[in-house]
Amino acid sequence: MDLNRNFPAANWKEGETVYRWNSAAEERDVVLLTGDKPGSEPETQALCQLIHRIQPAWVVSFHDPLACIEDPRHSELGEWLAQAFELPLVTSVGYETPGSFGSWCADLNLHCITAEFPPISSDEAQRKISLCDGKLAALAS
């Protein structure tokens, strides 16, 4: 079950969905399930409740391993993240993501930037994320 296909987005689809686990491999798509119904999983419900409670102006969602910054709005923050992480800025990851967090955010008109790291160690990911702490904190206030 893919939690990032379980959000109650307008484009949620029952059954199987594709997850792209690698940006370079010949066989890179994995088929996963979306859940019994939109928002059926407790983790999904908790994040939806948090978003509704705090009502952020924007969110950055960290993923891997597609090696890009996905920002449909090409915002200043998206451009900054692309430069800081030395990754290309794209408007789409290049395949459908029904029921994803980003799709659900779009339904709410909540600006969602997805930072897709390349395949790296957790230590390297933490180092990269720590580069953003000051910038994200400044933007959030």
Question: What is the count of structural domains for the chain?
Answer: 1
Catalytic residue among 43, 96, 116, 124: 116
> Which pair of structure tokens corresponds to residue 52?
């509704």
Mean pLDDT by runs of 10 across the 141 residues of the chain is 91 82 63 90 98 97 90 95 94 89 98 90 79 71 65
Instruction: Please give the DSSP secondary-structure letter assigned to residue 56.
Output: -
Which H, E and C letters describe 85-123, residue by residue? HCCCEECCCCCCCCCCHHHHHHHCCCEEEEEECCCCCHH
The residues that bridge with 50 in the sheet, in sequence order, are: none
> Which pair of structure tokens corresponds to residue 37?
């119904």
Decide if 116 is catalytic: yes
Query: Tell me, what's the pLDDT at 45?
Result: 98
Torsion angle of C-alpha atoms 27, 103, 75, 119, degrees rounded to 10: -30
Q: Full-prediction pTM beyond 0.85?
A: no
- Domain span at residue 132 reads 3-137
Query: Tell me, what's the pLDDT at 31?
Result: 77
CATH of the domain at 38: 3.40.630.10
